Chains A and B, each alone.
Chain A
Amino acid sequence: MNEEEKFSIVLFSGTVDKLMAAMTMVAGAAALGKKVTLFLTFGGLIAFRKDAWKTNRRFSADFADYAAPAMELMQAKNVPHWMTVLEQAQEIGDVTVKACGATMDLFDIKQADLEPIVGEVTGVASFIEAAEGGTTLFI
């Protein structure tokens, strides 16, 4: 595999604003034919607990004043839910979602407790090795 075609994101955040930004990046990279990996850890992993996406209204604290207007505007303008953006990205390109084993152990979360789109559980070394040579972002 051409090394420079890898695009990996470590998703540490679980707030809606950052989730939306992360999935948009995933979609853009997938559209361009990159091999995309989304590595969920801490906040990102929590956001992928089964059905959590339906009720997650967390927003970055620094932008708390934007939370309500942003949510309203996204509804009014039919902005797709970040989970939908991720699903669409997977349909049009190569996207793998991996979960951080350490976070799962910490909070006693099993893979069955996560959204089915999470493909595998991995450790940090495997993730870093797999991401080697490509672009890696920390969100």
Chain B
Amino acid sequence: METITINKEIDARGSFCPGPLMALIGAVKAAQVGEVVAVLSADDGSKKDIPLWIAKARHEYLGAEPAAGATRFVCRKLH
């Protein structure tokens, strides 16, 4: 993944499904259009839920990468 500036990252490790997804949604809501939001999540449910939500909510899914023993999901707010 190319270097993308993350405007806001939320550490949702240790939080239970649907925690990480809810945390991402809250952060996207609070962000400006065009900003990049990331969430760190360790739970398996999020791996599917997060990209699904991003697609359904019509934001840009910038991918997932391993980070800090968990997965970092990155999303750009498009609207």
* In-complex Cβ contact of B22 among A27, A33, A78, A79 (8 A): A27
Complexed CA–CA distance, A92 and B21 (Å): 10
A-facing residues in B23-76 (Cβ within 8 Å): 25-26, 29, 49, 53, 56-57
Q: Is the interface of B mostly helix, strand, loop or mixed?
A: helix
Complexed CA–CA distance, A80 and B18 (Å): 10
Residue of A nearest to B14 (CB): A78
Known: A31-B25, A91-B26, A92-B29. A80 touches B19 (CB 8 A): yes
Chain A, residues 79-96, CB within 8 Å of chain B (1/0): the string is: 110000100110110000
Q: Is the interface of A mostly helix, strand, loop or mixed?
A: helix
Q: Are B17 and A32 in contact (CB under 8 A)?
A: no
Contacts of B21 in A (CB 8 A): 28, 31
Complexed CA–CA distance, A92 and B28 (Å): 10
Known: A92-B25, A92-B29. A27 touches B18 (CB 8 A): yes
Q: Are A77 and B14 in contact (CB under 8 A)?
A: yes
Size of interface on A: residues with Cβ below 8 Å to B? 15
Contacts of A24 in B (CB 8 A): 17-18
Complexed CA–CA distance, A45 and B16 (Å): 26
Please give the distance in Å from B36's CB to the nearest CB on chain A: 19
Residue of B nearest to A92 (CB): B25
Count chain A CB atoms within 10 A of each CB in B16, B18, B21 and give the residue with the most: B18
A residues near B (Cβ < 8 Å) are 24, 27-28, 31-33, 77-80, 85, 88-89, 91-92
A-B contact list, 17 entries, CB within 8 Å: A24-B18, A27-B18, A28-B18, A28-B21, A31-B18, A31-B21, A31-B25, A31-B53, A33-B57, A77-B14, A77-B16, A78-B14, A78-B16, A80-B19, A85-B18, A91-B26, A92-B29
